[in-house]
Structure 1
Amino acid sequence: MDPILDVRNLHVSFDTYGGTVQAVRGVDFALKKGETLAIVGESGSGKSVTTKALMGLVAKPAGHIPKGEILFDGKDLTKLSNKEMQKIRGKDMSMIFQDPMTSLNPTMKIGKQIMEGLILHQKLSKKEARNRAIELLDLVGIPDSTKRIDQYPHQFSGGMRQRVVVAIALACNPKVLIADEPTTALDVTIQAQILELMKDIQKKMDTSIIFITHDLGVVANVADRVAVMYAGKIVEVGTVDDIFYNPKHPYTWGLLGSMPTVDGNDEKLIAIPGTPPDLMNPPKGDAFAARNEYAMQIDLEEEPPLFKVSDTHYAATWLLHDDAPKVEPPEAVKKRMKGNISAGEENRS
């Protein structure tokens, strides 16, 4: 099956007074119909910039795409004008942002905000758009939708506002839905509800989802495949089971080790030492080398390619080279891998 979205060698840079920040440095991935791809990594790893590039939302003129392709429906989105992208945004590709209060207009009733896209892209009449907006509010689990459609964002709780944002994103039945940390601003209980809602909606609408998060616990519950980003590059990609059961990159080990276990044991969380590199002057070799206790001399001199682990699993680390020493994840990481994936499997079943 051909991917619905195919990203090839994507680079995104930002010109600043101090120099050019190379925020995304050669990202490749494909998204299949009905699939959920999670992109994970620390703040500053390039996750959100990548997805904003997909939506044509990189702020110009400071931000630009020096090279790469974003192929969607036979078109390279990097070659389209802003006016051409406006026809795709909201209709074929939609985005859910982290904070619903910055996504909603506080001066407009939520019904009108949902109806805008329906009238613009679907060419519905106001009456048809209103009826569809009520259906969408029902779909995302907002009770008494015929009354609440005429209320303002401040009259909704944080979780309900995020449900409204989901309804707006789904209004035109997009082929690709991008969710950028959609549950970070919510408490744990509401977070679980929103994640369950997105899984349910995907089953009903067969939408492809790109899910951006720094929380690997969330990934186990919602994703089919996972791409781990570091310093503007994808350093490991595979199925959820590949990443949780058989992670190969030391950075992925660090992310797993920093994740609390669900069984409540007393083991300390493992912190990744150091800080990400300065992307105005990216390091010569492996960008993670300075923080990697298993780094070898070649890590400081040459960037590793993506080594094939299996047909679904690739990782960019010299530890996978035939001549490299055999290194296993720390025991504490192995315990977290097993504990959290078990919980994830229960939630997915």
Structure 2
Amino acid sequence: MEKLLEVKDLHISFHTFAGEVQAIRGVNFDLYKGETLAIVGESGSGKSVTTKSIMRLLPEQSAEFKSGEILFNNKDLTKASEKEMQKIRGKDISMIFQDPMTSLNPTMTVGKQIMEPLLKHQNLGKAEARNRALELLKLVGIPKPEVRLKQYPHQFSGGMRQRVVIAIALACNPQVLIADEPTTALDVTIQAQILELMKALQKKIDTSIIFITHDLGVVANVADRVAVMYGGKIVEVGTVDEIFYNPQHPYTWGLISSMPNLDAADAELYAIPGTPPDLLDPPKGDAFAARNEFALKIDLEKEPPMFKVSDTHYAATWLLHPDAPKVEPPEAVKVRMRKFPSAKTSLSKGGR
């Protein structure tokens, strides 16, 4: 598969009155043409900071790229000028933000907002841009587009506003579409419609999607691969089946165990104990160790490397070391692992 985007050993800090917050601490991932990569984790894990750094939308007065590369079509975006980024944003890489009401300008008609990237990046005349805006409204399923084109954001429902935001993001047929929790502000029914819409549109325009969410249920429906983030790092990455049915990192176990199970309505919902680490002073060793009931002594002393589980599946946990003791994952995880033909029901049966 063709590699569109490559993030290499990315470190990003924020300089605050309290000190330096080490928000991103060595993130690595790739994005391939036509795939959907989901980045999941709790609030504060670094998901949005990572993806906003790709668009270079972090505040310059406080954010600092400490080291690493973001290679897009073999160009390092961390070294690109603002003028160069303005040519890329909206044209080659687009973003759908979490709240459609704050993403849209309340003083401009929806039509003008959809036409804006077309006029800037596609060099279309106003008449051509208007016709393309009508096509985009139809594409995202908005009825009576001729009427809607002249209306303002407050005249649309939440779901329809998010469809407009998607239309703007797709206006120039971007190579990469970043969706930052695009369904969080919507009810469950509209959420499902928006997810179906994004899957259908991806096939039509052959774009690659980075989908940020804390909802693993959403991930199962949209992703090809999943990267699990914790404490400013990616701690596990694999195909959607590998992450859901053969998870290896205790943090991923916790996320999966905390998902409601419709087959066991009376079961107590699991919650990961404790809170994420303070990145003003990142912990030594594994950042998840303090919340990990399976933590080993080495977890408190040394950061684990990424151990290979398969050609597509890696996890940063000392439990995968050949000398680690045998550990049984939680029951909710074992139930899922039994459904995955190649899954192991426990860890550390010899080296990975």
Partner residue in 1 for 2:142: 142
User: Take 2:320 and 2:253, find their aligned partners in 1: how far apart are those partners?
Assistant: 14
Q: Deviations over 1:291-341 (max 9, x none)?
A: 0000010000000000000000000000000000111211133346779xx
User: Take 2:217 and 2:303, find their aligned partners in 1: how far apart are those partners?
Assistant: 29
Q: 1:188 Cα deviation (Å)? A: 0.1
Partner residue in 2 for 1:265: 265
Structure 2: which amino acid aligns with 1:243? I
Tell whether 2:311 aligns with 1:302. Answer: no
- TM-score norm. by structure 1 comes to 0.96
User: Take 1:189 and 1:338, find their aligned partners in 2: how far apart are those partners?
Assistant: 31
Contact residue 11 and residue 24 of structure 1 kept, 8 A: yes
Partner residue in 2 for 1:169: 169
Aligned length: 340
Partner residue in 2 for 1:344: none
| SS of structure 1 residue aligned to 2:3 | coil
Partner residue in 1 for 2:123: 123
Structure 2: which amino acid aligns with 1:273? P
How is 1:1-349 mapped onto 2 (pairs within 5 angstroms)?
1-263=1-263, 265-335=265-335
User: Take 1:144 and 1:118, find their aligned partners in 2: how far apart are those partners?
Assistant: 21
Q: Percent identity?
A: 77
User: Take 2:324 and 2:81, find their aligned partners in 1: how far apart are those partners?
Assistant: 47
Contact residue 181 and residue 212 of structure 1 kept, 8 A: yes
Structure 2: which amino acid aligns with 1:299? D
Q: Deviations over 1:18-47 (max 9, x none)?
A: 110000100000000000000000000000
Moved over 4 A (4+): 336-339
Q: 1:264 Cα deviation (Å)? A: 5.5
Contact residue 96 and residue 169 of structure 1 kept, 8 A: yes
User: Take 1:337 and 1:166, find their aligned partners in 2: how far apart are those partners?
Assistant: 36
Taking a change above 3 Å as real, the CA distance of residues 30 and 154 of structure 1, as seen in their structure-2 partners, is: same
User: Take 1:214 and 1:165, find their aligned partners in 2: how far apart are those partners?
Assistant: 21
Runs of at least 5 residues in structure 1 that lack an aligned partner in the other structure: 340-349
User: Take 1:232 and 1:164, find their aligned partners in 2: how far apart are those partners?
Assistant: 32
Contact residue 257 and residue 336 of structure 1 kept, 8 A: no
Structure 2: which amino acid aligns with 1:258? S
Q: 1:268 Cα deviation (Å)? A: 1.3
Q: 1:84 Cα deviation (Å)? A: 1.0
